[in-house]
Amino acid sequence: MVRTSPMENEFISIRKELFELVDMVEIRIDVGYILEELEELSLEIKKLRGGEKIFQEMNDIYKMLFRKYQNKLAAFLSSKERQMLTEKIKNWLLELPKLF
């Protein structure tokens, strides 16, 4: 049985959650769930050494989307917003290994 370190487990967990977030965006899950997942991920990344930049980007996107959708959390992201968020998540996936 292969043993993995806590850091490896954390990396795998965050990476998996980022891929799940992309899936949620692509299959058009409502904004409330996307915001919830984005908030949880941002707090996990904030704990990592060097994760402040990604945390800030996530937090900025969270605030922007929340302001826009706060009274209609069951709505769906526009195609432009979906594309923007998907691109950001892809960038975060590329930056993630550097935090470990």
In a domain, 69, yes or no: yes
How many CB atoms sit inside 10 A of residue 76's CB?
15
In a domain, 15, yes or no: no
In a domain, 60, yes or no: yes
pLDDT of residue 90: 93
In a domain, 58, yes or no: yes
In a domain, 94, yes or no: yes
- Domain hosting residue 37, numbered range: 30-99
In a domain, 75, yes or no: yes
pLDDT of residue 99: 77
In a domain, 3, yes or no: no
Interval 90-100: pLDDT, tens: 999 998 888 77
Q: How many domains does the chain have?
A: 1
Interval 3-53: pLDDT, tens: 667 777 888 888 899 989 998 888 888 899 999 999 999 988 888 888 889
In a domain, 43, yes or no: yes
pLDDT of residue 96: 87
Which is more confidently placed, 1 or 68?
68
